[in-house]
């Protein structure tokens, strides 16, 4: 499993420990999931909690298989427009903030951003090499020439002399590798500076890249590869989010009968 998945599972068990204790009976866990569903918890929250509990009970030698709620039809809403992302990049106060958000916006990856090394960004080819990314797979993500130039400028100014295997982004005060909360805080602060009137979080940049590419006429398979989806069905959700894109495709390719 990816490190972020492991940490999510550990965090879930720590949060539930006062209720389930060390070796919970199966009926306690069943009741917990039922209570979550009755309380209206989201599909992803229920499933992720169930997965964490299944892994934990397997670890302690008392495995349980918890049921899954029916997956709702997902509709992507509230993505950032190109203008809104431009405003956020303009609201950055230094080259480091600009490089982080530019790479986030153009690559569509947020969780892999934390583990990137300087050598992982091929500025000349405008490619980001992602190691053990989504599904624990190595893959490449494309970035624009402007994004590659921004990262290069950041490395030259802020990380001169750093070795290629060093972390690309580190914290300002202690120089530790950049983490989940660091990125979340930066996105929140910059969105507030830019006066974006909607909730903004790191993963929203991924959705925004997909919808903005679709609006510009990108093929769904190109978006699939950029996002690193294993199945095109996962990417198809963006078609429902941008119906005008499909209408544009129809108007372009429709036969001329009249």
Query: pLDDT digits over 153-190, tens only?
Result: 999 999 998 899 999 998 888 888 888 889 999 999 99
Strands (E), 21-145: 121-122, 127-130, 139-142
- Treating both helix axes as pointing N-terminal to C-terminal, what angle do 145-158 and 95-107 enclose, rounded to 10 degrees? 150
Eight-state DSSP code of residue 115: G
Q: CB burial class (10 A; 0-12, 13-18, 19+) of residue 22?
A: exposed
Neighbouring-strand partners of residue 140: 129
Indicate whether 133 pLDDT > 60: no
Render pLDDT for 81-128 as a digit per residue (tens, 0 to 9): 999 999 999 999 999 999 999 999 999 877 778 789 999 999 999 999
Q: Rounded distance, CA 172 to CA 25, Å? A: 46
Res. 15: pLDDT tops 90? yes
- Residue 74 DSSP label: P
Cα 257 to Cα 17, 252, 254, distances in angstroms: 67, 13, 9
Contact 151, 121 (CB under 8 A): yes
Q: Would you state the pLDDT for residue 193?
A: 96
Cα–Cα–Cα angle for 103, 105, 111, rounded to 5 degrees: 70
Please calculate the CA angle 163-168-172 and round it to the nearest 5 degrees.
105
In CATH terms, the fold of domain 82-248 is hpI Integrase; Chain A (1.10.443)
Write out the two tokens for 114: 């934390």
| Domain residue ranges in the chain | 3-59, 82-248
Does 230 score more than 90 pLDDT?
no
Pairing relationship of beta strands 121-122 and 127-130 according to DSSP bridges: antiparallel
Give the pLDDT confidence of 137-155 residue by residue, as tens digits.
Answer: 778 999 999 999 999 999 9
Does the structure show a pLDDT above 60 at 134?
no
C-alpha distance from residue 116 to each of 15, 45, 130 (Å): 29, 28, 7
């Amino acid at each position: 499993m990816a490190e972020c998945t492991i940490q999510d599972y550990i965090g879930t068990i720590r949060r539930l420990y006062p209720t389930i204790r060390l070796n919970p009976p199966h009926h306690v866990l069943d009741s917990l999931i039922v209570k979550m569903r009755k309380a209206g918890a989201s599909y992803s929250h229920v499933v992720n909690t169930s997965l964490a509990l299944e892994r934990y009970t397997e670890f302690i030698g008392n495995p349980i298989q918890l049921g899954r709620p029916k997956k709702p039809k997902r509709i992507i809403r509230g993505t950032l427009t190109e203008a809104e992302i431009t405003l956020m990049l303009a609201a950055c106060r230094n080259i480091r903030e600009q490089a982080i958000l530019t790479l986030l916006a153009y690559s569509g990856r947020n969780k892999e951003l934390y583990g990137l090394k300087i050598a992982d960004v091929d500025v000349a080819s405008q490619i980001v090499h992602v190691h053990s990314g989504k599904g624990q797979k190595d893959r490449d993500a494309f970035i624009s020439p402007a994004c590659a130039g921004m990262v290069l400028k950041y490395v030259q100014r802020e990380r001169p002399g750093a070795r290629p295997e060093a972390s690309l982004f580190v914290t300002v005060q202690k120089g530790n590798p950049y983490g989940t909360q660091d990125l979340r805080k930066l996105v929140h602060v910059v969105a507030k500076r830019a006066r974006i009137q909607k909730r903004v979080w790191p993963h929203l940049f991924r959705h925004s890249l997909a919808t903005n590419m679709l609006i510009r006429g990108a093929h769904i398979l190109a978006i699939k590869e950029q996002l690193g989806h294993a199945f095109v069905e996962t990417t198809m959700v963006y078609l429902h989010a941008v119906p005008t894109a499909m209408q544009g495709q129809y108007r372009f390719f429709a036969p001329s009968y009249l």
